[in-house]
Amino acid sequence: MKHVVTAVALATTLIVPAAAWAQNIAIVNGKPVPSTRLNALAQQLERAGRPVDDAAKAELKEEVIAREIFAQEAERRGLKTATEYRQQMELASQTLLIRELFADQQRKHPVTDADIQAEYDKFVAENGGKEFRARHILVEKEDEAKAILAALQQGEKFEDLAKQRSKDPGSGANGGDLDWASPDSFVPEFANAMRKLGKGQLTTAPVKSNFGWHIIRVDDVRDAKLPALADIKPQIQQNLQQQKLMDFQEKLRAKAKIQ
């Protein structure tokens, strides 16, 4: 009978730790470390867009155990009752609560496909139209611009004069090339003059802006090429989420009674 009782007791001691390990990832100095801590850290990584594979879980487990060791030492030294610790805990608790508030707001008021489509349509309306492949020569004085224009009319190459005389360091070295761009990318005086030009045409007079005097030539014109909705949908969704959250924050601020 004694041997039977001993065997039962041994089996019981083997079963209990196995059950405990199902709920805890370790026992540090006699204190269980629950697996929920590991799950919480894994969720933080997933929220940040980082994959949590087996290797990551192993690293997280070691971090959870290390935290328990350090926390136990801090408690042993009485730091948990320190004023600074309580103040920091209050701030940390508030930060976590606010984060959960914003997450809850986004879950209850998500960005819909209709929202995204409407924002894309607005983007197309604002950025459609024509794009220009233009060149310019930028100088400081009107007389110099007129002299360059006269040289061009006599057969001088636009690209050569741009390299020699343009004070725009970006385009001058490339023969005045400004690449493809919409008129809205330029200052109004430049944009208005460029819109009046067709393919291969040159301004008949220098154009003044706050940068100086421009000689402009349009090499080509095309319909604006805009990205497809599928290509920028994640960006639109993110922007709308941020805007919704900002609106939510402003509404809370507006109705708060602050004395």
* Bigger pLDDT: 8 vs 212: 212
Average pLDDT in the 110-114 region?
96
Residue 212 lies in a domain: yes
What is the spatial distance between Cα 101 and Cα 29, in angstroms, rounded to a whole number?
Answer: 36
Residue at 257: amino acid letter = K
Residue 6 lies in a domain: no
pLDDT per residue over 28-75, tens digit each? 999 999 999 999 899 888 888 888 898 989 999 999 999 999 999 999
**If we measure between CA atoms, which residue out of 145, 148, 142 comes closest to residue 160?**
148
Looking at residue 242, its pLDDT comes to 96
pLDDT per residue over 158-180, tens digit each? 999 999 999 999 999 999 999 99
Contact by Cβ (8 Å): 218, 198: yes
What is the average pLDDT score of the chain?
89
The CATH number assigned to the domain holding 202 equals: 3.10.50.40
Residue 58 lies in a domain: no
Residue 35 lies in a domain: no
- pLDDT band at residue 10 under the 50/70/90 scheme: very low
Average pLDDT in the 70-84 region?
94
Residue 120 lies in a domain: no
Q: Which of 20-24, 110-114, 226-230 has the lowest mean pLDDT?
A: 20-24
Q: Which residues contact 16 (CB under 8 A, 6 or more apart)?
A: none
Residue 244 lies in a domain: no
Domain count for the chain: 1
Residue 188 lies in a domain: yes
**Is residue 132 over pLDDT 90?**
yes
Q: DSSP letters of 138-202?
A: EES-HHHHHHHHHHHHTT--HHHHHHHH---HHHHTTTTEEEEE-GGGS-HHHHHHHHT--TT-B
Residue 48 lies in a domain: no
Which domain does 150 fall in, by range? 129-223
